């Protein structure tokens, strides 16, 4: 099946969630890396907790909170867990930095090449509408993305089938005509189960999940996505 649309996860795939550790280290010396890792883990844990606790509600999970709010709550939990102070000024600095996360250096060139192939480009993300808009604008990607899709309208996070289903509600393609790209192995697996053609960006050189099936393609960075489109 020929690929017609390339859809990217945002956080961890296009935007480096661990780049936040630089500022975290400045604010909390000796704790930057630990804050970045635990913050991200708690953020994802909260998305799963909310979605799994009420997955069949017609109007979306009653426990849903926008990703931006979850990001703040996850940060507050992390600082409390590490027994660090969470003065409002420090929390606000970290949150504002999160709104403008560092993009991976190869992103823009890869997206430009994909657009040059005549393919539709999009983001599908747990991220809130506003925080995605800030990240995309800050990274200079507005002109190379046709769609930025947030799960906000359905009030269910990935890996719910409804979240992946938002792609076809936005872009008129079949599942296998979508190349879904994520650096999160759990996301690549969820998208594979949903029926997308998938590409796992394995930036850390990790083994794939013990669960099967494996993604259709994988590589160490976003440049590898171009090879899967040949």
Which residue of the set 9, 16, 152, 187 is catalytic?
A: 9
Closest listed residue to residue 30, CA positions, set 43, 21, 39, 38: 21
HSE-up (13 A, CA, CB side) for residue 95? 18
57: left (phi over 0), alpha (psi -120 to 50) or beta: beta
Give the pair of three-digit tokens for residue 135.
Answer: 């990240």
Dihedral sign for Cα 68, 71, 77, 83, please: negative
Query: Among this protein's residues, is 9 annotated catalytic?
Result: yes
Which residue is listed with tokens 């960006």? 201
Rounded-to-5 percentages of helix, strand, coil across the chain: 50, 15, 35
- Asked if 17 and 192 count as a contact pair (C-beta separation under 8 A), the reply is no
Q: Which residues are catalytic?
A: 9
């Amino acid at each position: 099946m020929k690929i017609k649309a390339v859809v990217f996860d945002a956080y961890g795939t296009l935007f480096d969630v661990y780049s936040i550790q630089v500022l975290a280290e400045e604010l909390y010396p000796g704790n930057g890396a630990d804050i970045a890792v635990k913050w991200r883990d708690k953020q994802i844990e909260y998305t799963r907790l909310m979605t799994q606790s009420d997955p069949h509600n017609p109007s979306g999970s009653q426990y849903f909170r926008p990703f931006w709010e979850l990001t703040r709550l996850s940060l507050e939990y992390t600082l409390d867990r590490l027994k660090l102070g969470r003065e409002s000024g420090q929390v606000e600095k970290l949150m504002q930095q999160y709104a403008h996360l560092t993009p991976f250096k190869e992103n823009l060139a890869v997206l430009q090449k994909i657009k040059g192939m005549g393919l539709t480009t999009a983001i599908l993300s747990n991220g809130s509408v506003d925080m995605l808009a800030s990240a995309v604008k800050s990274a200079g990607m507005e002109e190379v993305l046709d769609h930025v899709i947030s799960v906000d309208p359905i009030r269910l996070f990935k890996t719910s089938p409804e979240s992946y289903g938002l792609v076809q509600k936005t872009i008129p393609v079949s599942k296998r005509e979508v190349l879904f790209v994520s650096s999160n192995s759990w996301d690549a697996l969820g998208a594979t189960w949903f029926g997308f053609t998938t590409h796992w960006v394995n930036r850390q050189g990790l083994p794939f999940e013990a669960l099967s099936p494996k993604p259709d393609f994988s590589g160490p960075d976003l440049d590898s996505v171009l090879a899967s489109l040949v």
